[in-house]
Amino acid sequence: MLTASKEIFAKYQDEALLARIREYPDVSAMWAACVRDYADLPAVVFDGETHTYADLDRDAAAFRTVLKNAGLTAGDRVCLLAPNSYLFVKAYLAAVTMGVTAAILPAQLDERSVFGCTMMFGAKAVVCHPDLEAKLSICKAKNVKTLSAADTAEEGTPAAEGLGEDFPCVIMFTGGTTGKSKGALLSHGAVMQGTVNGCYGYSEVFNQRYMLLLPLSHVFGLIRNLMTSLYTGSALFICRNNKDMFRDIAVFRPTILVIVPALAEMALNLSRQFGRNMLGPDLKYIICGAAAVAPYLVKEYLKMGIGLCPGYGLTESANLVSGNPDFANRPDSVGLMYPNQEYKIVDGELWLKGKNMMLGYVGDPAENAAAYEDGWFRTGDLVRFDEDGFLYITGRIKEVIILSNGENVSPAEVEARFNELPIVQDSQVFEDVDESGRHILALEVVPRMTELKKIDTPDPIAYLTAQLEAVNAGLPGYWQVNRITVRDSDFARTPSMKIVRYKKC
Amino acid sequence: MLTREDIIRKLKDILISADARNAAALQACTEDSKILTDLGLTSVGMLYMVIAIEETFNIRFDNVGMNDFVTLRDVVDYVENKLK
C-alpha cells in the first residue's frame, strides 16, 4: 500500500503557497474561514449580480432558517433540484453547513425520477429552484414536503459546529461499477479532501477567477469547480447557458476553467475557425477530467501559453485523486496522486482508500459489496505509474462507457429503453470507432421476427429502424446513439446465455 | 442577403471545422441528413454548431434543444428565418 504526500508537490509550488493550503474537517469549518478571510471579495457572479462571501454567508444563514422551520435538523436529508445558479449555491451551502445531507439531483430528471430519488434517498423534503417547479407534481401529489430555493427568512440560523470529517455531506449521482444509476454518499471529510486537492500543483491558486460550465450535479462541477473556488477566495462566474460561454468569457476573463475534454477541444477548434483565442487573455489553466484527455490537446494549449492539466477521479472518490502540475509536460499522464490518498495496484487495477472515498452507495448493499474488496474501492481502471510517480490510465474493466464529454453511460440502461419495443429481441449499446477515427455510441439490434412479421409494412427493417430512431430521439442527449444497425443473427453468447459485450475501444 | 445555398455552404464549413475527421461524410451531406444518426453529432458538436452559427451569421438562437433539429433542413430553415 502507498500513501501520497504533500512533499511531492514542493517541486511545483513554493513553500509559502503550500503552507496556505490548510485542511478543515468539514465544510462548516472551511466556510467560516472563507467568510473570515474573504468577506468583501466576490464569491459568485450570476445573471449580472455579484455576491460577496459576506452576502452568500448571510443568504445561506437565512436559508438555514427556512430549512429549520421546515423541521429539518442535522442528520436529515433533502433533495436539491436546481440548475447551476446562485440559488443552488446558497441552498447547498445552507444545507450542508447545518449538517443536512444534500442529495443533488441532475436538473434534467423528470418528475417520476425526482419522486423516485426522494423515496430512494429517504429525503425529508425537496428543495427546488422556481424554474423546475413543474417537476414536483408527483412529489406534491404524494405529500412530499417541498421548499423553494428562492425562499428566505428575516433571521439567520448559525451553522453547525464540530460536524467532523465522518459526517455525511452530499449524495451524488453515479453510474458506479455496474452502470445502474445510484447515489454515492460522500462525507464532509471526502468533500473537503476533494476541495483541497484542487490546490495542488499550480503556481497560482488563491484569488482566481473561475467559470462554471459543468453541472453542479457532477462532482467535477460541485467540488473541483465550486468548492475549490470558494476555498481559495476566488470569484465564480456561473454561466447560465453554455452557448453564451465565449461571450461570458470575453467579459469575465476567467483565469481557470474546469471542463471536460470535449469542451476543451471545441474551444480550440472554434479559436482556430475564427482566428482568435476564444478563451480570453487571462486564462492560465484548464483543469480537464471526467473523460480521457487526448495528449495533443495538452500540446496545442501549451502553444497558446495555457496549461491544460489532465486529472483522474471518480464520483466515489469525491472528484480528482490525481492531477498534473502546471506545465509538467506529461501530456499522456493524469498526474501525481494527491496528498493523503492511499492506493495500490492489484492485477493492474487501481484500488483506493482514504477519507476522500464515499461512505457507500445509498440503500444498495449489493452494489456496495461489489464495489469493495477488503475495505478497498476497486476503481475498475487499469493503470501504471512511471518512475517519477506520474499515473497513466491504460484500460478499463468496467462496463460503463465514458464519453468524451464526461458523461457516464450505462449500456444496460440505454438498451432497456430500446428493448421496450416489442419488435426488439435484444440489443447492445457500445462505444465504437468509425471509419474516420471518431468515437461514437453505436446500437446493434436483433429483431423479434415473430412480432415484426405481424406488422403490415413493405420493408420491416426500415420500419424497425424508424421505430428505433424515434426511441433514440426521446432519450436524454448523452444517451442518444450515433449509429443504428439491425442484425440478421443473434449476438455471440456466453455459456450462461449473456451477450458477449463488444470491446472495440 | 444570403441565399439558401450560401447558408448550407457556410453550415458545411462549420460542421467540418467542428469534426475535421469526418470531413468526407460532412462534405457529402444534404438537407435531408439527420444530425444525430447520419452526421453523428454529439451534444458538444451541437453546441459547437450553435456557437459557430451565431458567430458566423451574427444571429442569436432562442432557447432551443438538441431535439428541435432533426435534419440539416431544420437548421437551415431556422437560420433563414432569423436572417429575414
What ipTM is given for this predicted complex? 0.86
Average pLDDT of chain B to the nearest whole number: 85
**Is A145 a domain residue?**
no
pLDDT tens-digit profile of A78-128? Answer: 999 999 999 999 999 999 999 999 999 999 888 998 999 999 999 999 999
Q: How many CB pairs under 8 A join A and B?
A: 72
Which residues form the domain of A428?
410-486
Tell me if A438 and B22 make a contact (CB, 8 A cut-off). Answer: yes
Residue A211 has pLDDT above 90, yes or no: yes
> What is the rounded CA–CA span in Å between residue A208 and residue B32?
47
Contacts of A473 in chain B (CB under 8 A): 36, 67, 70
More confident residue, A134 or B19: A134
Q: Decide: A209 and A253 in contact? Cβ < 8 Å.
A: yes
**Is A431 a domain residue?**
yes
pLDDT tens-digit profile of A248-290? Answer: 999 999 999 999 888 998 999 899 888 888 999 999 999 998 8
* C-alpha distance from A477 to closest chain B C-alpha (Å): 6
Nearest residue in chain A measured CA to CA from B66: A477
Residue A344 has pLDDT above 90, yes or no: yes
**Is A420 a domain residue?**
yes
Residue B19 has pLDDT above 80, yes or no: no
Question: What is the Cα Rg of chain B in Å?
Answer: 12
CA dihedral of A198, A202, A203, A208, whole degrees rounded to 10: -50
What is residue B40's predicted lDDT score, i.e. its pLDDT? 72
**Is A440 a domain residue?**
yes
Residue A194 has pLDDT above 70, yes or no: yes
- B25, B36, B51 member nearest A243 (Cβ): B51
What is residue A397's predicted lDDT score, i.e. its pLDDT? 74
List Cα–Cα distances, A418 to A33, A60, A407, B69, in angstroms: 51, 44, 20, 21
* Cα A449 to chain centroid, rounded: 41
Residue B65 has pLDDT above 70, yes or no: no
Domain count across chain A: 1
List Cα–Cα distances, A270 to A276, A394, A483, B22, in angstroms: 8, 30, 26, 16
Structural domain boundaries of chain B? 4-83
> What is the rounded CA–CA span in Å between residue A282 and residue A29?
32
Cell output for A194: 476533494
Tell me if B37 and A469 make a contact (CB, 8 A cut-off). Answer: yes
Residue A177 has pLDDT above 50, yes or no: no
Specify the CATH class of B4-83 in words: mainly alpha
Find residue A351's DSSP bridge partners.
Answer: A344, A378
Residue A144 has pLDDT above 90, yes or no: yes
- What single DSSP character describes residue A402? E
CATH number at residue A463: 3.30.300.30
pLDDT tens-digit profile of A150-174? Answer: 999 999 999 999 999 999 999 998 8
Which of these, B57, B18, B42, lies nearest to A267 by C-alpha position? B18
Residue A477 has pLDDT above 60, yes or no: yes
Residue A6 has pLDDT above 70, yes or no: yes
More confident residue, A273 or A61: A61
**Is A379 a domain residue?**
no
Residue A146 has pLDDT above 70, yes or no: yes
Identity of the residue numbered A160: A
Q: Decide: B54 and B61 in contact? Cβ < 8 Å.
A: yes
Contacts of B66 in chain A (CB under 8 A): 477
> What is the rounded CA–CA span in Å between residue A23 and residue A34?
13
Average pLDDT of chain A to the nearest whole number: 91
pTM of the predicted structure, to 2 decimals: 0.84
**Is A118 a domain residue?**
no
Tell me if B52 and A436 make a contact (CB, 8 A cut-off). Answer: no
What is residue B68's predicted lDDT score, i.e. its pLDDT? 80
- Which spans in A253-403 are helix H? 261-274, 295-303, 365-371
Nearest residue in chain B measured CA to CA from A259: B44
Residue A474 has pLDDT above 50, yes or no: yes
Mean pLDDT of A359-382: 91
**Is A456 a domain residue?**
yes
Find residue A433's DSSP bridge partners.
Answer: A439
Contacts of A243 in chain B (CB under 8 A): 47, 50-51, 54, 61
- The burial class, CB within 10 Å (0-12 / 13-18 / 19+), for A204 is middle
Where are the strands (E) in A374-493, listed by range?
376-385, 390-396, 401-402, 408-409, 424-433, 439-447, 483-486
**Is A363 a domain residue?**
no
